[in-house]
Chain A
């Protein structure tokens, strides 16, 4: 019951954020130099189409009215129309969504076990050579440019060794796994160090915590102390970081999809920008923001389930 009321409260708190997201994406299109109607319909459109678009979007009316129109369309799930594909943006997003979702889940499932393994190995041998190596990897790993790693890996594994395809998405689950391995690996190579650094620090901090000393003073074996007290407490901040990193992850997949020619949302974003298909850019930005909000919400809910203090 308390959890439920908390959830309701949390959803209510989301309202202003959603409103803000809508306003930002609206303003995004206002940033474009030139005639907004022309941008919406493309260079070759006739004067009549232009007039019709102006009428439809109320572009000749004051800003607040335009904003209202935009909100109205959003409420109906209408994200506008792509001039390149001549299709509604919402349909386009659904069409390009599966590879991206597959990729994100792939990255997470590569990242989480690796992170746990490395961080625990480092923390349990604190000060040893493995710990030092993992620490340096943690500090420096996230400075790797994703696209550079992508190119180098695709040359090594794709061209030189020929183990993995270097582009596309394939058909069927196994082919997806095969095709998206290098993109997922590339992203993980960037993500794992950040997560390892956080979890390792949390593990070391918690292993000095007072409640751990108290558990040791009761004669609990070191192994039990670690799994029952240190690890659960150290996971909380890392779980939160994972939520934050998913936001960066979406940014990371844009680049990776561009390099490996994965037909996902990131590639759609880049190609739409290059072909000045602005309503797609606008719709995608909105969509990415909503996805981030959703992930954050899920992480918050997971936190409530683990941490009793949040339930209050």
Chain B
């Protein structure tokens, strides 16, 4: 009981001592999550409702973000697109993170041939510009979000593995890891209980940066017509759609881009805050 009370207390104290950037970043991400989940409630119009009487209307009290070339409400489309972009973010970050952390942990701790091979794979992968390789893989596999995730899983895990491995190599030689060995614990226990929890911080911080890169890459692919496919609303696709009308109607491009920037800022701020908190 007293232990519980103590934990509750320390948790509350912990939150109040979080860096401001972390709190702000999490608030932004949380806001977008809520908007995405409750999109049908939050959006004033049906995102796909065509209204040829009101095409390319400037922002007004009815259409806060204006309407596009088919008379669709830009605000509603931006809100619904958050679903796609957040999904993209999770699917583009989590699988590479899980693969990378596992591979980096095992190869770093056990060393040997597997580790040497991993390092060669890393060297080769970073020789390719990230976006070029993703673009090339999606290019040959064919456009679509599924292939984008496959490309990210193929390319993205390597950075996590490398980061993880570098941490593991340090912690492996720490005195508490040695102590655990001399206490008779096996490699698996030491890896999971002593190495992993202490090696995770830089990986989590990088994951935030990676999430920004994934959103940018995903939106870029959407913009090039190789990511999410229309009529599915996605910020990159919306910007691409609006490009031809940008001279007459800047708002079609402007607001989806702004949305991507705010979500990216939320992620970047969270990463910055995490780095300060975990330092």
- Complex contact flag A–B (Cβ < 8 Å): yes
What 0/1 readout, one digit per residue, does chain A (141-181) give for beta carbons within 8 Å of chain B? Answer: 01111111101101100010000000000000000000000
How far is A31 from B219 in the complex, measured between Cα atoms in Å?
A: 23
- Cβ-defined contact, B140 with A29, below 8 A: yes
How far is A140 from B127 in the complex, measured between Cα atoms in Å?
A: 26
- Cβ-defined contact, B121 with A139, below 8 A: no
Q: Chain A nearest CB: distance from B229 CB in Å?
A: 14
Task: Tell me the chain B residues, 252-279 only, with Cβ under 8 Å from chain A.
Answer: 253-254, 256-257, 260-261, 263-265, 267-269, 272
How far is A31 from B136 in the complex, measured between Cα atoms in Å?
A: 10
Of the four ranges (under 10, 10 to 19, 20 to 34, 35 or more), the interface on chain B belongs to: 35 or more
Partner of A28 from the list B126, B136, B269 (CB cut-off 8 Å) is B136
Task: Tell me the chain B residues, 109-144 only, with Cβ under 8 Å from chain A.
Answer: 120-121, 123-124, 126-133, 135-137, 139-142
Task: Tell me the chain A residues, 273-298 only, with Cβ under 8 Å from chain B.
Answer: 273-274, 278, 281-282, 284-285, 288-289, 292-293, 296
- Cβ-defined contact, B123 with A274, below 8 A: no
Q: Which of B33-41, B61-69, B92-100, B239-247 contacts A (4 or more CB under 8 A)?
A: B239-247
- Cβ-defined contact, B136 with A285, below 8 A: yes
B146 within 8 A of A: no
Q: Given A145-B261, A252-B131, decide whether A155 and B246 contact each other with a Cβ distance below 8 A.
A: yes
Q: Chain B nearest CB: distance from A67 CB in Å?
A: 15
A107 within 8 A of B: no
A residues near B, CB below 8 A? Answer: 16-17, 20-21, 23-24, 28-29, 31-33, 139-140, 142-149, 151-152, 154-155, 159, 247-252, 254-255, 258-259, 269-270, 272-274, 278, 281-282, 284-285, 288-289, 292-293, 296
Interchain Cβ contacts within 8 Å, total number? 155
How far is A20 from B120 in the complex, measured between Cα atoms in Å?
A: 8
- Cβ-defined contact, B268 with A143, below 8 A: yes
27 A-B pairs with CB atoms under 8 Å apart are A16-B120, A17-B127, A24-B124, A139-B265, A140-B261, A142-B212, A145-B219, A145-B220, A145-B239, A145-B261, A148-B253, A148-B256, A148-B257, A148-B261, A151-B239, A152-B257, A155-B246, A159-B246, A250-B132, A251-B129, A251-B132, A254-B132, A270-B135, A285-B133, A289-B128, A289-B132, A292-B127
Contacts of B136 in A (CB 8 A): 28, 269, 273, 281-282, 284-285
- Cβ-defined contact, B130 with A251, below 8 A: yes
Q: Chain A nearest CB: distance from B236 CB in Å?
A: 7
- Cβ-defined contact, A151 with B220, below 8 A: no
Q: Given A143-B264, A145-B219, decide whether A288 and B257 contact each other with a Cβ distance below 8 A.
A: no
Q: Given A24-B124, A145-B216, A273-B135, decide whether A159 and B129 contact each other with a Cβ distance below 8 A.
A: no
Partner of A255 from the list B121, B133, B142, B223 (CB cut-off 8 Å) is B223
Q: A20-B127, A33-B141, A140-B269 are in contact. List 16 more A-B contacts (CB 8 A).
A: A17-B124, A17-B127, A21-B127, A139-B21, A143-B264, A145-B220, A145-B257, A147-B219, A147-B239, A148-B253, A152-B250, A152-B253, A250-B129, A258-B224, A285-B136, A293-B127
Contacts of A159 in B (CB 8 A): 246-247
